[in-house]
Amino acid sequence: MITASREKDLISAADILLDARRTAKPIADLPKGLQPQTLEEAYFVQDRMSWAYEEIGGWKIGAATPDATPGFAPMPKAWITCNGCAMGGETHRYRGLEAEIAFLMGADLPPRDTPYTRDEVIAAIASMHPVIEVLESAFLDPSQVSKMCSTADMAVHGGLVYGAAVPNWKSIDFAKESVTLAVDGAVRVERTGSNTAGDLMRLLPYLANEGASRTEGLRKGDWITTGSWTGNTLATAGAAVEARFSTAGIAYLRFA
């Protein structure tokens, strides 16, 4: 339980992070007394920040290992865009890149007492897409701050660019799926079966069930992206980026 006095600290933390992102003047770290110490506190800051970006377009979710409890964060709708469209968001300073697989929900999954089964969640998916998650941060180097601080900072989310829907996606063996991430035509990462969650399809039922108290349920039109296949690759201004999956399609973007 977060006390009223602690809420004030966490609101101050959210304001500092928002200011650093909006002005593109990153900070080394949050003041010690304002740093979130628990996942509950980090999620409080995330949610407070997300209000400033208005409508939520979906959620990013991932897990560090096949046995780890997933973590998730809101994705502002204004930061979600298709291949070849203008990038959402006003500034891109950090320009981290992750090749991912995302799902577009085709039906609502409101909170309910009985947990949704895996089959019910899959049946509610409208389509699957290759995506590039753009990472952005209020911190000079998010790898140099605590896990709770980087989680609080929108889980380092800065945008999502999606490719075309992939037909017959349910037949894809994600354990054998390979991916390359190229920047300005040079392949920077090439991996196979590399989503750290292991079975990435376990992530959506978790979000629909355990995540519902926070998300208030999944909605038709929500984008759910399911974690990096390529780690974090940094790009520069003007860079052209392509994520190419062996059967799950292509996503691409160019930074201004």
Which residues are bridge partners to 157 per DSSP?
135
What is the rounded average pLDDT of the residues 64-75?
97
Confidence band (pLDDT; 50, 70, 90) for 85?
A: confident
Check whether 88 has a pLDDT greater than 90: no
Check whether 122 has a pLDDT greater than 70: yes
Confidence band (pLDDT; 50, 70, 90) for 84?
A: confident
Per-residue buried b or exposed e for 30-55, using 16+ beta carbons within 10 Å of the residue's own CB: beeebbbeeeebbbbbbbbbbeebee
Task: Kindly state the helix (H) or strand (E) to which residue 251 belongs, with its residue range.
Answer: strand 250-254
What crossing angle do the helices spanning 4-23 and 39-52 adopt, rounded to 10°? 50
CA dihedral 165, 246, 195, 62 (to 10 degrees): -10
Name the residue type at position 20: A
For the chain, which domains are there?
4-254 (3.90.850.10)
Confidence band (pLDDT; 50, 70, 90) for 256?
A: confident
Q: How far apart are CA 218 and CA 215, in angstroms?
A: 7
**CB-count burial class (<10 Å; 0-12, 13-18, 19+) for 134:** buried
Average pLDDT of every residue of the chain? 96
Say if strands 233-234 and 71-76 run parallel, antiparallel, or are unpaired. unpaired
Secondary structure class of 93 (helix, strand, coil)? coil
Confidence band (pLDDT; 50, 70, 90) for 7?
A: very high
**What does 27-75 look like in DSSP terms, one character per residue?**
BS---GGGS--SHHHHHHHHHHHHHHT-SEEEEEEE-SSTTSPPEEEEE
- Name the DSSP letter for residue 170: G
Say if strands 96-105 and 233-234 run parallel, antiparallel, or are unpaired. antiparallel
